Structure 1
Amino acid sequence: MESAAAETAAAAAMAMAMAMAVVLGMGGAAAAAPGNGAVAGAAGGIAPEADVSHHGHVSLWGSGLGVWVQSVNYGPSNLADVTVRVRTSVSLSRRQELPEGCLQADRLTVLCRTGALRTDEAEGRQLALELQLAGWPDEVVVRVDTLWNGGATDRNPQNNDHEVLALATGDEYVF
């Protein structure tokens, strides 16, 4: 019995030592301390923490779909770049005139770079897309979210992941 208890204690001590070695190998316990905007990453590094937020509106008229997005970073860490993904429930036309930093990834998806998002920029970055749809739908579902944020941890993804139904009225549907 004593042998089994000793083996369990030794295994627990070994696991604790390995865990401490991993944390120390990632820059020390102080680097991952709460409040400094970084959390320990599973890949062996320190991931910054940032709260990216996307808000805006969508409007559908004929075969045109307007998507206006304001992206803001509430911090605590600055981000070098963010990629916003806009997905539609209706196929896009093959010919899109997209702003610089945007590309059509597939028949339903457009990806756009925001550029740097600093925590002290209240206005963030503005994105305006005028997309052409393959037909004249009565409605379209538009999904806006963050595809990439430089590997930062976002503990509040609810403010950057949106889905909105737009009817073909020309009205603005806010997200």
Structure 2
Amino acid sequence: MRRMRVAAVCGAAVATAVGGAVPGAWAVGRPQADLAYHGSADMVAGQVDVRFTPHNHGPGAVPDSMVRIGWSQPLADGQTLPVGCAREGERAVLCRTGALGADAVGERIGLRVRLQGAPSEVLLEFETVASDGAVDQDRVDERQRVLVLDTGDTYYF
């Protein structure tokens, strides 16, 4: 009986940490938010410029949040990133988006990265990784993808 209780508690802790298997069950009593990212990206000779603005479509405020920008190609070494952004491994950058009120637009974030080699395309993926206690029951718009071709054209998302 004790083993079953320990397993149930561990399972509940894991479900809480990763979003749970039962939608909304882990969100009881926590503020609700709906985070999304809108912006543009372009690439020339393996250098990618990304500009985006975080949006909180509510209904609750988010005291602080962070977005992961994943790259389908490895980043070159020696990147200079803006304040509030840090490299995470070979293919990702984390950026703090800060506090976002309900139905509010955050500050624009812009970064320029170099990719290893000179790929003809890169797939960017934006995903909220921390929202300081707020939860989003509809996480579809928190995970966005944009394919950027090495043409110098601007791609909007």
TM-score range, shorter chain: 0.7 to 0.9
Deviations 1:5-52 (A, max 9, x none): xxxxxxxxxxxxxxxxxxxxxxxxxxxxxxxxxxx8638x62110111
Are residue 154 (structure 1) and residue 152 (structure 2) matched?
no
Partner of 2:51: 68
Are residue 88 (structure 1) and residue 71 (structure 2) matched?
yes
1:115 to 95, 98, 102: 98
Partner of 1:32: none
Partner of 1:164: 146
Q: Retained in 2: the 8 A contact 1:55–1:160?
A: no
Q: Retained in 1: the 8 A contact 2:32–2:134?
A: yes
- Among all aligned residue pairs of Structure 1 and Structure 2, give the percentage whose two residues are the same amino acid: 36
- Count of aligned pairs: 134
Deviations 1:109-130 (A, max 9, x none): 0000011111253x32211010
**Aligned-CA RMSD value:** 1.7
Paired with 1:135 and 1:119, the residues of 2 have a C-alpha distance of 42
Aligned residue type for 1:63: G
> Could you say which structure has the greater relative contact order, defined with CA pairs below 8 angstroms and 6 or more residues apart?
2
Q: Retained in 1: the 8 A contact 2:53–2:108?
A: yes
Are residue 134 (structure 1) and residue 110 (structure 2) matched?
no
TM-score where L is the length of structure 2: 0.79
TM-score where L is the length of structure 1: 0.71
Q: Retained in 1: the 8 A contact 2:55–2:103?
A: no
2:88 to 105, 108, 127: 105
Specify every segment of 5 or more residues in structure 2 that has no aligned partner in the other structure, as ranges.
Answer: 1-23
Runs of 4+ residues over 6 Å off in structure 1: none
- Per the TM alignment, residue 136 of structure 1 is displaced from its structure 2 partner at its CA by 0.6
